[in-house]
Amino acid sequence: MTISERHKYILDKVSKYGIAYVNELSEELNVSSVTIRKDLKFLEEKKLLFKTHGSASSIDPYINDRSVVLKEGMQVEQKASIARKAVDLVAVDDTIIIASGTTVLQLAKSLGSIDRLTVITSSTNITVALTKFSNIEIVQLGGIVRRSSTSVIGHYAEQMLSNFACSKLFLGVDGIDIDFGLTTTNMQEAHLNQIMMTAAQKTIVLADSTKFGRKGFGKICDIDMVDIIITDSNVNRGLVEKIEERGVKVLIV
């Protein structure tokens, strides 16, 4: 195989799965890992992929914190579709946790038809959205307010959660990476999300397709620790296959 053929093979694999690993490419192409790393460096310099530790991806995997106002205007239709699907998983008399994020905010705005529902949330935006529904009892967690996400973090929120047992957690994330797991851009928010997971029987992640293959600063959990991921039809299907191999159910809308 020529160098150009090898490069095409690498790019095709990255395109199909969203990510390609150095050790797998080395075996499949019957060349050393040193050669593969040189290939990835060359392709990155040509701006054809992004090189990471031990792998390459089709998009820049690292993300920075952005304000909730900015994120509300992104992937609007996809988030609305994901939220509508998530409503189907909420039952009458449910007690659920809704974390922070613009996709789970869309879920909150769609819960008016569910009777006798109790919602625990860290997000002040979600609390405001739910106040117009007389059928929903709201428990607002307390703590330090993050301005960028308009949600609370810290010891007081975590302590409150230790007193609750809920059926489901609806979790928004900033990144979903096969190896690194689920992440957010804030370390304290990631820790609060971990506590939420322990308070819920089932964790359901709501994430549009742009979150896949990305990494935030704070790790929430490994990918196989969640039960369901709901995303939109623009998601990389090869990546979905790899996630489902980990035992996670992926619902595509």
Assess whether pLDDT exceeds 90 at residue 204.
yes
Estimate to the nearest angstrom the gap between the alpha carbon of 224 and the chain centroid. Answer: 13
Estimate to the nearest angstrom the gap between the alpha carbon of 191 and the chain centroid. Answer: 15
Average pLDDT rounded to a whole number, residues 99-112: 95
pLDDT tens-place string over residues 147-179: 888 899 999 999 999 999 999 999 999 999 988
What is the helix (H) or strand (E) element at residue 102, kind and residue range? helix 102-108
Residue 14 CA: distances (Å) to CA of 31, 46, 58, 213, 229: 18, 15, 6, 11, 22
Options 1.25.40.10, 2.60.40.420, 1.10.10.10, 3.40.190.80; CATH for 3-57 is 1.10.10.10
Domain coordinates of the chain in residue numbers?
3-57, 68-252
Topology of domain 68-252 in CATH is: Rossmann fold (3.40.50)
Q: Give me the pLDDT at residue 138, please.
A: 97
pTM of model > 0.75: yes
Q: Give me the pLDDT at residue 69, please.
A: 55
Same fold across 3-57 and 68-252: no
Q: Give the number of other Cβ atoms within 10 Å of residue 249's Cβ.
A: 12
